[in-house]
């Protein structure tokens, strides 16, 4: 995989980063983070310019976010059908909605880099839920800046140990995503439990008779 990514970046340069980050933000399964690490490594060796490499990845991510948002906004029913065809997609979309409902703009920001697997689905959910476009854009742009700076920067600094850094970043992202999902499920279970207690309290409450 690493050799293939090196070949793509070597042949197409910053353009490959623009394309891959754009596609990743509309849920196309491409190795965007690894590509940015590779781009950073090429910048460290002098084969690419660091500024243009990071800018290409950033602009691609912003464009993908906007497309995902407007796809969700204009095609919510079609999005539901698409997600329901595969259980993992349906689960990711559900988690994205929970993140938006609980955290709002902060959820958009964190989904860009801290829990990036949720990012594309947060785009769809934000559009379908009619989050204000400017709010979505500002929070998303801030999060994408962190994402691009983090991965391109890691590739640049640790160019000689790119494979090890890529494995570490992948494991760390998966660990964080799992932790966040666990927290969200815990919050949901707590909410359901409280609702059940409330219903039981109402059912157990003695009714007043006509004489009373």
Judge whether 60 lies within some domain: yes
User: Max CA-CA distance within the chain?
Assistant: 90
Judge whether 194 lies within some domain: yes
Judge whether 210 lies within some domain: no
Distance CA 62, CA 66 (A): 6
Residue 152 near residue 18, CB atoms below 8 Å: no
Judge whether 211 lies within some domain: no
DSSP state of 101: H
Predicted confidence at residue 140, as pLDDT, reads 97
Predicted confidence at residue 85, as pLDDT, reads 87
Nearest one of 19, 138, 135, 25 to 72, comparing CA atoms:
25
Distance CA 35, CA 197 (A): 49
Predicted confidence at residue 83, as pLDDT, reads 85
Distance CA 37, CA 20 (A): 12
Residue 95 near residue 101, CB atoms below 8 Å: no
Predicted confidence at residue 167, as pLDDT, reads 63
Predicted confidence at residue 102, as pLDDT, reads 84
Q: Determine which helix (DSSP H) or strand (DSSP E) holds 120, and give its type and residue range.
A: helix 119-128
Angle between helices 87-103 and 162-204 (to 10 degrees): 70
Judge whether 133 lies within some domain: yes
Q: Determine which helix (DSSP H) or strand (DSSP E) holds 157, and give its type and residue range.
A: helix 133-157
pTM of the entire predicted model: 0.75
**What range defines the domain where residue 19 resides?**
2-204
Distance CA 151, CA 37 (A): 5
Predicted confidence at residue 168, as pLDDT, reads 53
Q: 155-185 pLDDT, tens per residue? A: 898 887 766 656 655 554 544 444 444 444 4
- Where the chain has pLDDT below 70, the residues are 1-2, 162-212
Judge whether 101 lies within some domain: yes
Predicted confidence at residue 178, as pLDDT, reads 46
Judge whether 209 lies within some domain: no
Predicted confidence at residue 143, as pLDDT, reads 96
* Number of domains into which the chain is organized: 1
Q: 44-55 pLDDT, tens per residue? A: 989 999 999 999
């Amino acid at each position: 995989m690493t050799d293939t990514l090196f070949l793509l970046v070597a042949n197409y340069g910053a353009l490959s980063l623009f394309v891959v980050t754009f596609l990743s933000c509309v849920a196309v399964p491409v190795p965007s983070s690894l590509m940015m690490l590779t781009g950073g490594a090429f910048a460290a060796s002098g084969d690419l310019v660091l500024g243009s490499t990071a800018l290409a990845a950033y602009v691609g991510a912003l464009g993908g976010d906007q497309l995902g948002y407007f796809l969700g906004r204009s095609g919510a029913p079609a999005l539901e059908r698409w997600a329901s065809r595969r259980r993992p997609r349906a689960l990711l979309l559900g988690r994205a909605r929970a993140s938006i409902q609980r955290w709002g703009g902060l959820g958009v920001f964190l989904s860009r880099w801290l829990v990036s697997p949720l990012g594309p689905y947060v785009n769809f959910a934000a559009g379908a839920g009619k989050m204000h476009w400017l709010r979505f854009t500002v929070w998303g742009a801030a999060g994408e800046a962190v994402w691009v700076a983090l991965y391109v920067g890691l590739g640049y600094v640790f160019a000689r140990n790119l494979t090890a850094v890529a494995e570490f970043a992948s494991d760390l992202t998966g660990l964080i995503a799992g932790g966040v999902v666990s927290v969200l499920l815990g919050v949901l279970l707590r909410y359901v439990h409280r609702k059940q207690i409330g219903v039981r309290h109402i059912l157990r409450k003695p009714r007043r008779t006509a004489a009373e």
